[in-house]
A and B are shown apart, each in its own frame.
Chain A
């Protein structure tokens, strides 16, 4: 359903151009549940933003359901069915939660949307999406705004970040339920083993390149081994002994 062909992304760091993504070739299948993982700074969020159109890739093409969307704007991609749940959702001074959610859904379903992410509608509908909300509350509202939309592809950027373990389990269930409704492909950017264990397929992104992909049984042992060797390297181990991606 989504195909990336030879995608490159370079971003400016001062006067210097830094390669962020290199030669990404990726096929995502319909109705599959993917986990996108890898070390910090490996390019996971950048890849998600390239797919959403937030970053414009320097080279390569992107296809959604066979249609070339490389030159589509963010708005056009959203209308074509791509959704992205931000890792750090922005806050909006003055904007009420109900007004944010109304962009995604009709007024009658707002209360159900909030209840579905574990927030009591009467306490939250009229609150502002600003600094009065905790990071966990913002994540729930972010998820509600995304899950209220009909989507073909949803990318969740570290849904676990800033959410307590108990709430995370509920949010994960919500993501799973949305996925099970069908006709949607889900990609969860994560470092969480619980999510990795649920994925149909894991994609490993290291230093802006797809290092490996495959089933849980194939990728999870590799990640565990890689984590050990990277830890050793960071702790002053002999680099010659370390084999990292």
Chain B
């Protein structure tokens, strides 16, 4: 159910965006139904919709493009949507967003970018997010990337996370499809008792390229992280994964990279773990392979065609 503010925002969105832009929003932020909270929608380099709530302030930066999102301590069960849309060919948009999650808060941040490039010039969005999660706060962060259209579509997200004592973060980083090229850079520093789960899911096809670098530093005692990466490379696309976990305290970390390779795709996966404390416990695993034949056969015995079976397997793997 939408509250009054949500309905009002949805109406504004309908007025300010055309059908293509609405579809992009639906794909990256599920933004046809806002439950509550604050919102900032950036289109073609400009903020077009901005709304703060009682507990979440969204304000533009004064020194560079971007916004500050300030979430009040103790804010519970609220969400803030900060998606970016690009619908012009030849636009390079760089944005700096700072998100501060106040002590003891429990919120969801939905970011993401959708590019519809109608022309032949490249369209690019470089989103630099700095996230500070204060003591005991909890944040779920969802960032989806999607591209469509005839021109080249480039998305280079940079996410820098600082986690204070006993904070919790679950980050879901997703590239749905249609992104020509991406270099993803994710860095996190965890203080005592902090817990970070990152799930990254990437699909590339045609001649697309994706590079994902992650560095997670476990600086505090009892901090922990789990990084799960699942990806599919189809056609002639290529992917490079390089997640690193560094443990500087009595802490735990696990990195898991699973990839399905199809057609002439290429994947390089090199998870790395570094322990700088004798009580650190770090593990990693990586697997690359094609869809198992037994999986296809099983689904075909239930009446699916090979293509339908493949589609269900890939959707399950990436969802």
Interface residue ranges, A against B (CB under 8 Å): 52, 54, 73-75, 78-79, 83-84, 86, 89-90, 92-96, 99, 103-104, 128, 145-146, 149
Contact of B301 among A78, A93, A96 (CB under 8 A): A78
Q: Which residues of B contact A96 (CB under 8 A)?
A: 316
**CB <8 Å contact, B316 and A99:** yes
**Alpha-carbon distance A84/B301, docked complex (angstroms):** 7
**Alpha-carbon distance A94/B292, docked complex (angstroms):** 14
Quick check: is B67 within 8 A (CB to CB) of the other chain?
Answer: no
Given contacts A103-B302, A149-B302, contact A92 B297 (CB under 8 A): no
Closest 4 CB pairs of A and B: A95-B316, A90-B294, A78-B303, A74-B300
Q: Which of chain B's residues has its CB closest to A86's CB?
A: B298
Known: A96-B316, A146-B302. 18 other contacts (CB 8 A): A54-B297, A73-B300, A74-B297, A75-B300, A75-B304, A78-B300, A78-B303, A83-B301, A84-B301, A94-B316, A94-B318, A95-B313, A95-B316, A95-B317, A99-B312, A103-B299, A103-B302, A145-B302
Interface residues of B in 243-283 (CB under 8 A from A): 258
Tally the A-B contacts, defined by beta carbons under 8 Å. Answer: 59
**Alpha-carbon distance A93/B292, docked complex (angstroms):** 11
**CB <8 Å contact, B312 and A90:** no
Q: Which of chain A's residues has its CB closest to B314's CB?
A: A94
**Alpha-carbon distance A84/B294, docked complex (angstroms):** 13
**CB <8 Å contact, B295 and A90:** yes
Closest Cβ of chain B to A124, distance in Å, is 15
Q: Mark B303-314, 1 if CB is under 8 A from A, else 0.
A: 111100000110
**CB <8 Å contact, A93 and B303:** no
Which of B294, B303, B305, B313 has most A Cβ within 10 Å?
Answer: B303
**CB <8 Å contact, B303 and A75:** yes
**CB <8 Å contact, B305 and A90:** no
Name 29 A/B residue pairs within 8 A (Cβ), A-sorted: A54-B301, A74-B297, A74-B300, A75-B303, A75-B305, A75-B306, A78-B301, A79-B303, A83-B301, A86-B294, A86-B298, A86-B301, A89-B298, A90-B294, A90-B295, A90-B297, A93-B258, A93-B317, A94-B230, A94-B316, A95-B317, A96-B316, A99-B312, A99-B316, A103-B299, A103-B312, A128-B316, A146-B302, A149-B302
**Alpha-carbon distance A69/B204, docked complex (angstroms):** 39
**CB <8 Å contact, B312 and A95:** yes
Closest Cβ of chain A to B205, distance in Å, is 18
Q: Which residues of B contact A83 (CB under 8 A)?
A: 301
Interface residues of B in 72-88 (CB under 8 A from A): none
Q: Which residues of B contact A78 (CB under 8 A)?
A: 300-303
Given contacts A74-B297, A90-B294, A92-B295, contact A104 B302 (CB under 8 A): yes
Interface residue ranges, B against A (CB under 8 Å): 230, 258, 292, 294-295, 297-306, 312-313, 316-319
**Alpha-carbon distance A64/B239, docked complex (angstroms):** 47
Q: Which residues of B contact A99 (CB under 8 A)?
A: 312, 316
**Alpha-carbon distance A94/B258, docked complex (angstroms):** 11
**Alpha-carbon distance A226/B312, docked complex (angstroms):** 46
Closest Cβ of chain A to B294, distance in Å, is 4
Q: Which residues of B contact A95 (CB under 8 A)?
A: 312-313, 316-317
**Alpha-carbon distance A52/B301, docked complex (angstroms):** 7
Q: Which residues of A contact B303 (CB under 8 A)?
A: 75, 78-79, 103, 149
**CB <8 Å contact, A92 and B316:** yes
**Alpha-carbon distance A96/B304, docked complex (angstroms):** 17
Q: Which of chain A's residues has its CB closest to B319's CB?
A: A94
Q: Which residues of B contact A146 (CB under 8 A)?
A: 302
Q: Which of chain B's residues has its CB closest to A103's CB?
A: B302
Q: Which of chain A's residues has its CB closest to B293's CB?
A: A90
Q: Which residues of B contact A92 (CB under 8 A)?
A: 295, 313, 316-317
Q: Which of chain A's residues has its CB closest to B201's CB?
A: A94
**Alpha-carbon distance A78/B301, docked complex (angstroms):** 5
Which of B258, B294, B305, B316 has most A Cβ within 10 Å?
Answer: B316
Q: Which residues of A contact B300 (CB under 8 A)?
A: 73-75, 78
Closest Cβ of chain B to A96, distance in Å, is 7
Q: Which residues of B contact A75 (CB under 8 A)?
A: 300, 303-306
**Alpha-carbon distance A74/B302, docked complex (angstroms):** 9
**Alpha-carbon distance A79/B302, docked complex (angstroms):** 8
Closest Cβ of chain A to B32, distance in Å, is 22
Which of B230, B298, B306, B312 has most A Cβ within 10 Å?
Answer: B298
Q: Which residues of A contact B316 (CB under 8 A)?
A: 92-96, 99, 128
**Alpha-carbon distance A39/B295, docked complex (angstroms):** 27
**CB <8 Å contact, B230 and A90:** no
**Alpha-carbon distance A73/B304, docked complex (angstroms):** 11
**Alpha-carbon distance A89/B301, docked complex (angstroms):** 12
**Alpha-carbon distance A73/B318, docked complex (angstroms):** 28
Q: Which of chain A's residues has its CB closest to B303's CB?
A: A78
Q: Which residues of B contact A84 (CB under 8 A)?
A: 301
